[in-house]
Amino acid sequence: MTAPRRSAQWYGGDDRNSYIHRAWMRRGLPADAFDGRPHIAIANTASALTPCNAHLDEVARSVADGIHRAGGIPLNLPVVSIGETQVRPTAMLWRNMAAMAIEEMLRANPIDAVVLLGGCDKTIPALLMGAASVDLPAVVVPGGPMLTGTFRGVPLGCGTDVWKLSEEVRAGTLSAAEFSRSESSMIRSKGHCNTMGTASTMGLLAEVLGMTLPGVAGTPAPDARLLEAAHATGVLAVELADSGRRPSTVLSRGSFLNAIVALAALGGSTNAVVHLLAIAGRLGITLSQDDFDRTGAEVPLIVDLLPAGRFLMDDLYRAGGLHAVLAEIRDLLDPAALTVTGRPLVHYLDDARVYDREVIRTREQPLQQHAGIAVLYGNLAPGGAVVKPAAASPALLRHRGPAVVFDSVEDLNARLDDPGLEVTADSVLILRGCGPKGYPGMPEVANMPLPAKLLALGVRDMVRICDGRMSGTAYGTVVLHVTPEAAAGGPLAKVRTGDMIILDVPNRRLDVDLPPGELEAREPDATTVKAFAAPARGWERLYVDTVGPASTGADQGFLLGSSGDQVSRESH
Ligand code: FES
C-alpha cells in the first residue's frame, strides 16, 4: 500500500480544516486537483533585483507545463532571491537567511515535491541547503549562463574582465571613457555570469551532485533547450513525488567527492568549498575542507575557461558540455553516486563527446596538471586556509615577504594607493576583519587590488592573504578563508606590518616567521578590534552570534542538519 501524499495532510478528509485548505486554493484549479494528485512547488528566485535570475519566471512556466502534463499541480513559490552584484553589504550575509526562509516555507506548505530554480551565485546553494534540511523530493533547474558579449571585437568575461579592465585604468593603460564604453557590452543576454565563476560552478556542481535532470547544467539561459529541459524537469518532479526519492536518498559522500573532482577539472570557484560544505552539513554527510585537497588537488584542469583559461560558458556548452568533461575524468568518479532519476551519474556519460579540444582538453594535455584546491595550515591559519593554485602565479606559490596589513576594506581603500605606502612586489598584502563574523558575511574582497604604484611598474600579481572570500571570477595568488578569522580570535588579528610571511603551497604551509611564543603573547590592537562588525539587532546580529567558520561552510550552527518535512504542530 502506498503512503498517503504529504499534501493529503492538508487536503484529505471532509472536516472544517481540509475544507478551508481546499476552498482557498481552488481558484480555477480542476475539480480533481485535491484527489491525490501531487502538488509540486516551484521555488522560484526570479527577481528584477537579481538580474541573473530575472528570466526564471519563463523557466517556471515550462516547469509548470511539465508538471501539468505528468498529472501534478504546479505551484509557483517566490522565495528569497539574492542578486550578487546588487545586495549590500555582501550576498553571502544572506545565503543562510535565504536557505532558512526556503526551508521553512517548503515545510510549512502543502507540497509533495519541489523544483528549485536558481542561477546567481548564492541562489542554488541556498535552495539546496533549504531543500536538504526539509528533505522533500527536490530537483534543481540551473538558470544557465548568459551569451558572451564582445567589446572592440574581443569576448568579455563577466567579472573577470571587469577586474582586468579596472586594473588597466588604474595602471593608466586604458582611459576611463573606454572603460565606461565597455559597460553596455558586458551583459549580452539573460542568464548568469559567463565565466567559470560561482554561478557557473554551482549550476554545474548541482548536476554533478545528482540534483538536476542529467544534461541540463550549462545550457545557456536564452537557449530553447533550457525550456525543454525545464519542461522535462516538471515531469520528473511528479515522478519524484511518486517515488519519494529525496535529497537524503540521492546525495551521498560519494556525490560530494564527485563534485570536488569536477570542481578541479572545471577550474571552478573557490566559493564552492563553503557551499558544498554547507550543503553536506545539512544532510549530516561527513565532508571536510581537507577532502578538497585530498580528493581534488591532483586532478588536472581540463576546461579552458576564464578565469583560469580563455573561453566562456557558451563555448563549454558548444564543446560538449559538462558530460564531455565528466567523461574525461570518469575513472575518478564514484560510480555508485546517484542522480534524481534514480540512475547513477556515470550512466549518463556513455554518449558524451568532445567537439572542441581547445575548450575541453584531454587528461594527457591538461591546462594544468594539478588544479584542485590546496588547504594550508600553519601558525597563521591553525584551522586552515584555501588557495587555488590554478588561478595563482606559479612563481609566487613559494614566497617569503614582509606583511602590509589592513584592518578593514575601508582601511585598504584609504591607504592602498597612498604614494607613501611602504610596499614592493615582494610584500604580502594582508586584509583582515573580513571573515563571516568580522565584516559580517565574508565578502569577496580577498583578491584585493594591487597598489597603483606597483601596477604602473608592471606588477600584476602579489601574494594576498585574507579571512574573506574571493569572487569565483577573480584570479591571483590569493590565500583566502583563513580560519579562525581575525574577529573570532584568529592569529591573523595579531600580525603586524613588517612581519615576515612564509607561503609554501607545495608543503601546504602558511606561517608568520616570529620567535616562539611571540605571536601567542601579542594582543590585537584596539583599532583592529574596532573594525570588527558589532551589529546591535536583526539578522546581522543573529548571523554574527551564531555563524560557524569558513572551514565548515560558514553556516549557522542552529541550521546544521535536517528537521524533516513534518510541521511541528497542526493549525486551526
Ligand atoms: Fe549573478 Fe555573476 S552576478 S552570476
CATH number at residue 308: 3.40.50.2300
Of the candidates 54, 312, 47, the one whose C-alpha atom is nearest the C-alpha of residue 197 is 312
Q: Is 84 in the pocket of ligand 1 (CB under 6 A)?
A: yes
Of the candidates 460, 470, 264, 237, the one whose C-alpha atom is nearest the C-alpha of residue 340 is 237
Of the candidates 468, 265, 261, 267, the one whose C-alpha atom is nearest the C-alpha of residue 276 is 261
Spell out the residues 6+ positions from residue 174 whose beta carbon is closer than 8 angstroms to its own. Answer: 165, 168
Residue nearest to atom 1 of ligand 1 (CA): 120
CATH number, domain of 486, equals 3.50.30.80
One domain, residues 57 and 193: yes
Q: Which residues pair with 212 in a beta bridge?
A: 140
One domain, residues 404 and 306: no
Site to probe by mutation for ligand 1, drawn from 50, 120, 190 as the one with most ligand atoms within 8 Å of Cβ, is 120
Q: Is 221 in the pocket of ligand 1 (CB under 6 A)?
A: no
Q: Answer whether residue 487 is part of any domain.
A: yes
Q: What is the per-residue pLDDT for 122?
A: 98
Spell out the residues 6+ positions from residue 224 whose beta carbon is closer than 8 angstroms to its own. Answer: none
Spell out the residues 6+ positions from residue 147 whose beta carbon is closer than 8 angstroms to its own. Answer: 188, 189, 191, 194, 220, 222, 314
Spell out the residues 6+ positions from residue 429 whose beta carbon is closer than 8 angstroms to its own. Answer: 404, 406, 423, 448, 450, 462, 463, 464, 465
Q: Which atom of ligand 1 is nearest to the CA of 83?
A: 1
Question: How far is Cα 139 from Cα 463, in angstroms, rounded to an integer?
Answer: 40
Site to probe by mutation for ligand 1, drawn from 47, 193, 202 as the one with most ligand atoms within 8 Å of Cβ, is 193
Q: Answer whether residue 297 is part of any domain.
A: yes
One domain, residues 412 and 543: yes
One domain, residues 164 and 194: no
Q: Which three cell numbers stand for residue 293?
A: 585537497
Residue pLDDT, tens place only, 173-184? 889 999 999 999
Check if the beta carbon of residue 37 is closer than 8 Å to that of residue 7.
no
Question: How far is Cα 288 from Cα 182, in angstroms, rounded to an integer?
Answer: 41
Spell out the residues 6+ positions from residue 467 whose beta carbon is closer than 8 angstroms to its own. Answer: 432, 433, 434, 435, 438, 442, 480, 481, 482, 483, 485, 486, 487, 490, 492, 550
Query: CA-based diameter of the chain, in Å?
Result: 79
One domain, residues 309 and 389: no
One domain, residues 396 and 253: no
Q: Is 328 in the pocket of ligand 1 (CB under 6 A)?
A: no
Q: Is 199 in the pocket of ligand 1 (CB under 6 A)?
A: yes
Q: Is 197 in the pocket of ligand 1 (CB under 6 A)?
A: yes
Q: Answer whether residue 306 is part of any domain.
A: yes
Where among 315, 349, 383 does a domain terminate? Answer: 349
Q: Is 324 in the pocket of ligand 1 (CB under 6 A)?
A: no
Average pLDDT on 357-386 reads 95
Q: Identify the domain containing residue 487 by its residue range.
A: 375-552
Q: Answer whether residue 567 is part of any domain.
A: no
Q: Is 124 in the pocket of ligand 1 (CB under 6 A)?
A: no
Does position 160 have pLDDT exceeding 90, yes or no?
no
- Pairing mode, strands 500-504 and 398-406: antiparallel
pTM: 0.97
Does position 510 have pLDDT exceeding 70, yes or no?
yes
Q: What is the per-residue pLDDT for 571?
A: 65
Does position 572 have pLDDT exceeding 80, yes or no?
no
Q: Answer whether residue 563 is part of any domain.
A: no
One domain, residues 103 and 230: yes
Cis before 335 (ω within 30): no
Q: Which atom of ligand 1 is nearest to the CA of 85?
A: 3
One domain, residues 107 and 89: yes
Check if the beta carbon of residue 128 is closer than 8 Å to that of residue 279.
yes
Q: Answer whether residue 380 is part of any domain.
A: yes
Q: Is 121 in the pocket of ligand 1 (CB under 6 A)?
A: yes
Check if the beta carbon of residue 563 is closer than 8 Å to that of residue 136.
no
Q: Which three cell numbers stand for residue 159?
A: 567579472
Residue pLDDT, tens place only, 412-454? 999 999 999 999 999 999 999 999 999 999 999 999 999 999 9
Number of domains in the chain: 3
Average pLDDT on 220-235 reads 98
Q: Is 444 in the pocket of ligand 1 (CB under 6 A)?
A: no
pLDDT band at 163 (very low <50, low <70, confident <90, very high): confident
Where among 349, 384, 414 does a domain terminate? Answer: 349
Question: How far is Cα 53 from Cα 41, in angstroms, rounded to an integer?
Answer: 18
Q: Answer whether residue 14 is part of any domain.
A: no
Strand blocks (E) in 49-101: 73-78
Residue pLDDT, tens place only, 512-546? 999 999 999 999 999 999 999 999 999 999 999 99
Check if the beta carbon of residue 501 is closer than 8 Å to that of residue 400.
yes
Distance 471 CA to ligand 1 centre (A): 10
Residue pLDDT, tens place only, 48-89? 999 999 999 999 999 999 999 999 999 999 999 999 999 999
One domain, residues 193 and 266: yes
Q: Is 135 in the pocket of ligand 1 (CB under 6 A)?
A: no
Distance 406 CA to ligand 1 centre (A): 27
Does position 219 have pLDDT exceeding 90, yes or no?
yes
Does position 305 have pLDDT exceeding 70, yes or no?
yes
Element (H, E) at 490: none
Site to probe by mutation for ligand 1, drawn from 47, 53, 81, 85 as the one with most ligand atoms within 8 Å of Cβ, is 85
Residue pLDDT, tens place only, 246-288? 999 999 999 999 999 999 999 999 999 999 999 999 999 999 9
One domain, residues 316 and 446: no
Q: What is the per-residue pLDDT for 2?
A: 63
pLDDT band at 388 (very low <50, low <70, confident <90, very high): confident
Distance 419 CA to ligand 1 centre (A): 34
pLDDT band at 1 (very low <50, low <70, confident <90, very high): very low
Does position 569 have pLDDT exceeding 80, yes or no?
no
One domain, residues 328 and 382: no
Question: How far is Cα 329 from Cα 324, in angstroms, rounded to an integer?
Answer: 9
One domain, residues 342 and 488: no
Distance 218 CA to ligand 1 centre (A): 14
Q: Is 85 in the pocket of ligand 1 (CB under 6 A)?
A: yes
Distance 73 CA to ligand 1 centre (A): 31
Residue pLDDT, tens place only, 128-140? 999 999 999 999 9
Of the candidates 471, 553, 533, the one whose C-alpha atom is nearest the C-alpha of residue 85 is 471
Q: Answer whether residue 298 is part of any domain.
A: yes
Q: Is 190 in the pocket of ligand 1 (CB under 6 A)?
A: no
Site to probe by mutation for ligand 1, drawn from 121, 187, 189, 196 as the one with most ligand atoms within 8 Å of Cβ, is 121
Q: What rounded mean pLDDT belongs to the chain?
A: 95
Q: What is the per-residue pLDDT for 307?
A: 86
Does position 212 have pLDDT exceeding 70, yes or no?
yes
Q: What is the per-residue pLDDT for 391?
A: 80
